């Protein structure tokens, strides 16, 4: 065993009337190895099929965790109500335009963050299409 790799095929994979040869191999990391590959005769070729169950300790979820704000109808209504109830007196008492704008934005941002907090949500990732391409599918039909 080298570099923590192991050949999982232990039986001959090519059978002829005179010989038995182990030509086809499946080499994986040792941590994923549990049992040897199963060699199956399908009658389609002089090479046999190899099947190998593997241990997958890291389950990859189809869901991606992202930070985002939720804008639901009830949240939007609550936000409008809070803005409507605000007296805006602090904005009106400021003399400078920039100061008025900063006070306004601070109040607005306060209500915005209160009603629409940033939360972790899960979004679906695109499904893994796998390694079998349309070209492979077309080629396998040509036999």
pLDDT tens digit string along 34-80? 788 888 887 777 778 888 876 666 655 667 788 999 999 999 999 99
Give rounded-to-5 percent helix, strand, coil for the chain: 35, 20, 45
Q: Quick one: pLDDT band at residue 111, thresholds 50, 70, 90?
A: very high
Residue 18 in domain: yes
Residues 6 and 46 in one domain: yes
- Once rounded to an integer, what is the mean pLDDT over residues 99-117? 95
8 Å CB contact between 33 and 70: no
Q: What span, in angstroms and rounded, lies between the C-alpha atoms of 28 and 20?
A: 23
Residues 51 and 68 in one domain: no
pLDDT at 126: 65
Residue 32 in domain: yes
Q: Which domain holds residue 82?
A: 63-122
Residues 7 and 52 in one domain: yes
């Amino acid at each position: 065993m080298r570099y923590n790799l192991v050949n999982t095929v232990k039986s001959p994979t090519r059978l002829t009337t005179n010989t038995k040869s182990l030509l086809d191999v499946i080499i994986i990391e040792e941590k994923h190895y549990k049992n040897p590959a199963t060699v199956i005769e399908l009658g389609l070729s002089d090479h046999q099929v190899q099947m190998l169950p593997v241990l997958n300790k890291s389950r990859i979820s189809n869901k991606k965790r992202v930070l985002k704000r939720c804008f639901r109808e009830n949240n939007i209504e609550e936000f409008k109500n809070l803005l409507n109830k605000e007296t805006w007196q602090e904005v009106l008492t400021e003399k400078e335009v920039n100061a008025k704008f900063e006070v306004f934005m601070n109040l607005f941002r306060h209500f915005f963050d209160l009603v629409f907090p940033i939360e972790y949500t899960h979004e679906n990732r695109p499904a893994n299409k796998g390694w079998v391409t349309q070209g492979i599918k077309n080629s396998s039909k040509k036999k």
